[in-house]
Structure 1
Amino acid sequence: MTADVTSAIRQAIVSLALPPGSVIDKSAICEQLGVSRFPVSEALARLQIEGLVDIAPQRGSTVSLVRIADVREYMLIRKGLESEALRVLIGSHDATLTEALHANMAAQREAAERDDSEAFHQIDIEFHDIIYRSMRFTKVKGIIDSARANLDRARRLIITPRRLALTIAEHQAIFDGILAGNQDQANKAIRAHIDAVMVELFAFAREHPDMFADGHTLGTDQDSFPFG
């Protein structure tokens, strides 16, 4: 039961149904999920460890603000792992991978045409998961998945029709490199994709610093992330 409650609250936080900084009403959660306060309290303690919840004695629980410093580190990890994973993959992949990516790209375009950002987000995740599954690199995928909750919150903050269109183009560039069997092309494309997301996230954080735990401490794009 605690695991189910934890999953439900985590999803509400990651999807921004519970936005950063919002107060978590334990009684309301108990009523909505039909559970007692114990599994809710246990779930919040687990989510505190994940960095999604802040618990203050005598003051209750709130959804933690996104920390740009954490996102920067997680995205740097992704940048290194995904670019290296593509280098390993290209030349050893088969038709199953390209067929799955073709279908995924079509689904991305369909979701963008509907302006369905939530569906697009899930298809976006699947695009990267298809690549990892094809390599059977479970440990690499596990490392990235462990950072996904806070990354997903940050990425959802900047989802716009323009970002959807750019993401499709960036994914297509990665896919083109795979189809061409060109390690350098695919590697540059994945690094450019992550760089582009970080540029937009830094810009958003400067415009809305109160939505981030460290939004007022940002420097310039050049000294905030190792681009290139």
Structure 2
Amino acid sequence: MIIKPTTSTTRDAVYQALKEQILMLDLPPGTGISEKEISVQFGVSRTPVRESFVQLSQEGLLDIYPQRGTFVSLIDLELVEEARFIREQLERAVISLACESFPEAPLAQLRSNLSHQQVSMKEKDFKMMFELDEAFHRTIFEGCRKLNTWAVIQQVNVHLNRTRMLRLAADHQWDELYEQHRLMVEAIAGKQAEKAELLMSAHLHLTIADQTVLQEKFQAYFK
């Protein structure tokens, strides 16, 4: 990948590209990276790479050790659980709002998303499934005019997202995930707030159930 021009846009492009590689597990936890190799890979100077490293370090995705090197951070399960807790409180509240009033356009988007999820399941495309999962939840916030709340969630989500991606990559049986999404859409359309909240809570507890299995299978990825 060659990234072209201006300092701020170059830095932002390097930052976004590296962050996506980390979240998508193209750069797995524990992987060592250097300013030199990344600058060569992206065809940029070391300055935007160094600035991107600092930003990713502040977000907990990179560990920078002077004289030792820079490594993709291991997944911290305490931070995973804290992010899940925050998401559960906010997402339960938002899906309850959605059951009170939800426009037809985003409801149609949710149904379209479900159709695409079925395609990703057939193709066993875990990256596509992750992106659809994210889009599904974001659409609920958007339909409730709570995109700033969604942005808050994204600030604490990085470790949780890596466990979600790991789970999708390790196990292509996504029927339960899909079924929970489908029932959420039914609950929103039927204005069943209590049912929707329970579904959302169960949905976000899937990460807890998966943690033991993931730790055993990918021990080197966790703190």
Q: Settle same-fold status: TM greater than 0.5.
A: yes
Whichever residue aligns with residue 189 of structure 1, its letter is L
User: In the aligned structure 2, how far is the partner of 1:138 from the partner of 1:124?
Assistant: 16
User: In the aligned structure 1, how far is the partner of 2:172 from the partner of 2:147?
Assistant: 32
1:201 pairs with 204, 208, 211, which one? Answer: 211
Q: 1:83-132: per-residue Cα shift (whole Å, max 9, x none)?
A: 01111221211322321111010010111111111111111110001101
User: In the aligned structure 1, how far is the partner of 2:207 from the partner of 2:193?
Assistant: 22
* C-alpha displacement of 1:210: 2.9
Pick which of 170-179 and 38-47 moved more: 170-179
Equivalent position SS for 1:158: helix
For residues 120-131 of structure 1, the aligned pairs below 5 Å read 120-131=129-140
Q: 2:32 matched to 1:23? A: yes
Equivalent position SS for 1:127: helix
Whichever residue aligns with residue 111 of structure 1, its letter is S
2:172 pairs with 140, 148, 161, which one? Answer: 161
Superposition TM-score, scaled by structure 2 size: 0.91
Whichever residue aligns with residue 190 of structure 1, its letter is M
Runs of 4+ deviating beyond 4 Å: none
Instruction: Give the unaligned 5+ runs of structure 2.
Output: 1-9
* Identical aligned residues as a percent: 27
1:192: which partner in 2? 202
Aligned residues: 212
Q: Is the 8 A contact 2:21 2:27 kept in 1?
A: yes
User: In the aligned structure 1, how far is the partner of 2:218 from the partner of 2:113?
Assistant: 33
1:136 pairs with 145, 149, 166, which one? Answer: 145
User: In the aligned structure 2, how far is the partner of 1:41 from the partner of 1:117?
Assistant: 31
User: In the aligned structure 2, how far is the partner of 1:40 from the partner of 1:165?
Assistant: 40
1:9 pairs with 18, 33, 36, which one? Answer: 18
* C-alpha displacement of 1:148: 2.9
Whichever residue aligns with residue 186 of structure 2, its letter is D
Q: Is the 8 A contact 1:24 1:62 kept in 2?
A: yes
* C-alpha displacement of 1:150: 2.3
* C-alpha displacement of 1:206: 4.3
Q: Is the 8 A contact 2:99 2:190 kept in 1?
A: no
* C-alpha displacement of 1:211: 1.6
2:158: which partner in 1? 149
1:222: which partner in 2? none
* C-alpha displacement of 1:139: 2.5
User: In the aligned structure 1, how far is the partner of 2:100 from the partner of 2:54?
Assistant: 45
User: In the aligned structure 1, how far is the partner of 2:220 from the partner of 2:80?
Assistant: 16
Q: 1:160-199: per-residue Cα shift (whole Å, max 9, x none)?
A: 211x222101111211211221000000000011112221
Q: Is the 8 A contact 1:132 1:141 kept in 2?
A: yes
Q: Is the 8 A contact 1:30 1:40 kept in 2?
A: yes
Instruction: Give the unaligned 5+ runs of structure 1.
Output: 214-228
Whichever residue aligns with residue 183 of structure 2, its letter is A
* C-alpha displacement of 1:37: 1.3
Whichever residue aligns with residue 94 of structure 1, its letter is P
1:171 pairs with 164, 172, 181, which one? Answer: 181
Whichever residue aligns with residue 38 of structure 1, its letter is T
Equivalent position SS for 2:100: coil
